[in-house]
């Protein structure tokens, strides 16, 4: 079928001690800060090797959650190291923020102030930006919750078949690359897409 070209926005990293891990943390901080300036109901950050069932994700966010609540969603089951409060998201399944949650996360900080704060957390969390997002979210008083239907870890073929046909709603599958991305998309089409929904929540 015909492919649609989506508008893309480039977000640069930071020359932070010339370390790639720190650059990714800085890029994530920039994305969150800029996203907080937009009027979107939801912001969902995800890797480029993940297949997103966009209709399923939209339906789940609109039906089960409100953008007016302060919430961060993902798979909050990963830990950087013992003895430090670095339990957070397993980023392969993506991380979602409600509109109000993202605003509360950034508050009135400038871009530079927000990056500096996030980088300090990231340094303490072994440079994992996904863990750092959850740590900061908890500090700001956001609800950090599990989003059912995301699969941040690699699945065996039989697991994919099970998760696609067990009656649950798959949202995000990580480690989907190349031809497999096309194959999963065809499975999605064959199984039928859900109706898409528009969140009709008032601004707070």
Q: Are 50 and 174 in contact (CB under 8 A)?
A: yes
Domain that holds residue 86: 20-191
Number of structural domains in the chain: 1
- For residues 28 and 203, the model is more confident at 28
Q: Is residue 11 part of a domain?
A: no
Q: Residue 132 has which token pair?
A: 């750092």
pLDDT digits (tens, 9 = 90+) for 9-33: 666 657 655 566 678 899 999 999 9
- The reply to whether 164 falls in a domain is yes
Residue 46 lies in a domain: yes
| CATH number of the domain where residue 162 is located | 3.90.550.50
More confident residue, 151 or 166: 151
The tens digit of pLDDT for each residue in 58-93 reads 999 999 999 999 999 999 988 887 546 788 998 889
Q: Is 111 among the domain residues?
A: yes
Flag whether 121 is in a domain. Answer: yes
Query: How does pLDDT run across 106-162, given as a tens digit for each residue?
Result: 999 999 999 999 999 998 898 899 999 999 999 999 999 999 988 877 877 767 766
Residue 157 in any domain: the answer is yes
Instruction: Determine, yes or no, domain membership for 133.
Output: yes
Maximum Cα interatomic distance, the chain, rounded to a whole number of Å: 52
Residue 182 maps to a domain: yes
State pLDDT tens for residues 42-59: 999 998 899 999 998 999
Task: Strand 95-98: give its sheet, edge to edge.
Answer: 42-45, 95-98, 71-74, 143-146
Please tell me the chain's helix, strand, coil percentages from 3-state DSSP, rounded to the nearest 5: 40, 15, 45
DSSP, collapsed to helix, strand or coil, labels residue 44 as: strand
**Burial letters for 151-169: b for 16+ Cβ neighbours within 10 Å, e otherwise?**
bbeeeeeeebeeebeeeee
């Amino acid at each position: 079928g015909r492919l649609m070209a989506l508008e893309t926005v480039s977000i640069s990293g930071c020359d932070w001690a010339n370390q790639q891990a720190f650059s990714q943390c800085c890029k994530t901080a920039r994305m969150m800060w800029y996203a907080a300036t937009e009027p979107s109901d939801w912001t969902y950050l995800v890797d480029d090797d993940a297949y997103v069932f966009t209709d399923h994700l939209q339906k789940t966010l609109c039906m089960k959650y409100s953008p007016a609540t302060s919430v961060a969603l993902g798979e909050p089951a990963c830990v950087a190291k013992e003895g430090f409060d670095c339990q957070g998201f397993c980023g392969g399944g993506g991380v979602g923020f409600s509109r109000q949650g993202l605003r509360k996360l950034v508050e009135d900080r400038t871009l530079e102030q927000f990056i500096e704060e996030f980088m300090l957390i990231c340094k303490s969390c072994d440079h994992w930006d996904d863990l750092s997002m959850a740590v900061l979210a908890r500090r700001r008083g956001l609800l950090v919750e599990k989003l059912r239907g995301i699969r941040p870890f690699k699945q065996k073929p039989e697991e994919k078949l099970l998760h696609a046909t067990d009656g649950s709603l798959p949202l995000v599958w990580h480690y989907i690359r190349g031809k497999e991305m096309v194959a999963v998309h065809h499975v999605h089409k064959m199984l039928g897409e859900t109706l898409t929904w528009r969140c009709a929540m008032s601004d707070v």
